[in-house]
Amino acid sequence: MEDLWWIFSVSLCVKLLLIPAYRSTDFEVHRHWLALTSSLPLSRWYLDTSSPWTLDYPPLFGHFSLLLSLPASLIDSTITDLVAGQNYAAPSAVVFLRLSVAITDLLLLAGIHRVTRKLPHPRRRLALALVLWSPALLIVDHIHFQYNGFLLGILLISLSFLVEGWDLAGGVTFAVLICSKHLFMVAAPVYFVYLLRHYCNGDWGRAVSRFLVMGSAVSVVFIATFGPFAYYGQIHQVFRRLFPFGRGLCHAYWAPNFWVFYILLDKILAFLLCKFGFSVRTPEASFTGGLVGDSSSFAVLPQVNPIIALILVLLAMIPCLVKTFLRPRPENIIRWVAYAFTCSFMFGWHVHEKASLHITIPLGIIATNSMEDARHYFLLSIVSCYSMFPLLFESQEYPIKVLLLATYSILMWAGFSSHFRRSGAPEAAKKKNAKSSGSQHVLIGPFASCYLLGLVFTEIWGQFMHPYIFGSRFPFLPLMLVSLYCGIGMMYSWIWQLRQVIACT
């Protein structure tokens, strides 16, 4: 328990130091939601247009904002003023909102505590550090500004219930998570199949009764959350806010996923066809414009819509669902859920780069299972964090993000090397081939080393060489290179996880 609080305290100190750092527009988004939920009745939450930052999270997150607005109004009433508070960034508002993210991370602390409490002490300590010191989480939540920490804490609590065999509690907690942030619902197919096979087992009568109990408990959560808006006749409006499909296939800054390669191939084919004299219609919405509009049109390749993206996500998830159905074992549920989030990240519609946190945080728990898991996590966590570097584009944050990633990488290297050298020493000593046994404890091989070195060259190009050669021209090129290069690493991670899912026994 002492290790838990010590590791959390270190992360808290870093978060306090980051209070004056850069804030994205998400800061104003969440401040406005505090004002909106405290100033307007429930019936107006999803109808208000007093700001561009309309409420587009599920109602439980709205209630969370309402809860935060109570102390906020006592500290500085302008924070929760719907009119006067627009774009309000006084020191009192900044400090309060920054501290609210850090304090609600106690739920992440509770989640990591629950899910690791039965692990051996060395593994538990390492897993705690991997999650609580995640540089990607620090960048997204405590610099860029969001509330991912406490939501991931709810996810870990749900997973801990499933690992311990408390399936009903795990299912209900996951329903609470979806009603807080709907993007987590991509793991619902894995939860459904797992609970159907693991909780609703036994003879026919027992299976039916348990299915009804689980369905009733989950339904209560959704009815309590969305019921009032159904009463006001606003369910359609709520879902329009939650699923704004008109935003296009890709975010302004491309997430490093499958669609990066699809877009690039379309551009190459269009260029070659033009060179050979073919007429190619250039879409009005350009993927390289860096705008958030409906950038979903392709010049050569087939067009993509949300249904196609959903089908691809589900197809990619099928091996995991089959394995879950055939062998619903609690010890594999974290890996399966992480894989579901990976499928959504790779093939989903309008994916944000920040969604890779849904992958890395659960995988941080099982990274200590084996050296193979450690190698994968080491590479994935670095790629995931680096892909978020463009979120912090101001010069004063540059050394911070580099230092956070470099420090974490060094600590990972030292932690994994020490852990597996110590835990694997007796077995290694019994092996006759010392050279072979020594290779089992190498954290990163030559190919992965070359790939990570490429991240360094990608960063040097974007920060120094591109401005020197092109000046202010082609401003989106460095971002595109980051997405493309990190996309290679994320694609490798998806394939690696797929192999592990298939190999699960």
Residue 351 DSSP one-character state: B
Q: How far is CA 407 from the centre of its chain?
A: 21
Residue 353 CA, distance from chain mean position: 8
Q: Residues 6 or more apart from 449 whose CB is under 8 A from it?
A: none
Indicate whether 11 pLDDT > 60.
yes
pLDDT single digits (tens) 220-265: 999 999 999 999 999 999 999 999 887 788 877 789 999 999 999 9
**pLDDT at residue 439, as a whole number:** 53
Nearest to 78 by CA among 91, 67, 62, 65: 91
d(CA 500, CA 493): 10
Q: What is the mean pLDDT of residues 460-467?
A: 88
Res 330: pLDDT: 96
Q: Is the pLDDT of residue 282 over 80?
A: no
Amino acid letter, residue 114: R
Give me the pLDDT at residue 358, please.
97
What DSSP string describes 315-336? Answer: HHHHHHHHHHHH---GGGHHHH
In this prediction the pTM is: 0.93
pLDDT in tens, 92-104: 999 999 999 999 9
Express each pLDDT in 326-349 by its tens digit.
999 999 999 999 999 999 999 999
Q: Of the candidates 408, 411, 405, 441, which has an alpha carbon nearest to the alpha carbon of residue 423?
A: 441
Model confidence pLDDT, tens digit, residues 114-172: 999 999 998 999 999 999 999 999 999 999 999 999 999 999 999 999 999 999 999 99
**pLDDT over threshold 70, residue 427:** no
Place of tokens 């491309």: 254
Average pLDDT of the residues in 336-363: 96
Residue 410 token pair:
């060094």
Q: d(Cα 443, Cα 448) in Å, to the nearest integer? A: 10
Q: Would you state the pLDDT for residue 424?
A: 60
Provide the CB-side half-sphere exposure for 230 (13 A, CA).
6
Q: Determine the 3-state secondary structure of 413 from DSSP.
A: helix
Region 25-46: mean pLDDT is 96
Q: Are 260 and 484 in contact (CB under 8 A)?
A: yes
> What is the pLDDT, as a whole number, of residue 483?
93
Cα separation of 307 and 33, whole Å?
A: 30
**Are the beta carbons of 379 and 449 closer than 8 angstroms?**
no
- 366-404 residue pLDDT tens: 999 999 999 999 999 999 999 999 999 888 999 999 999
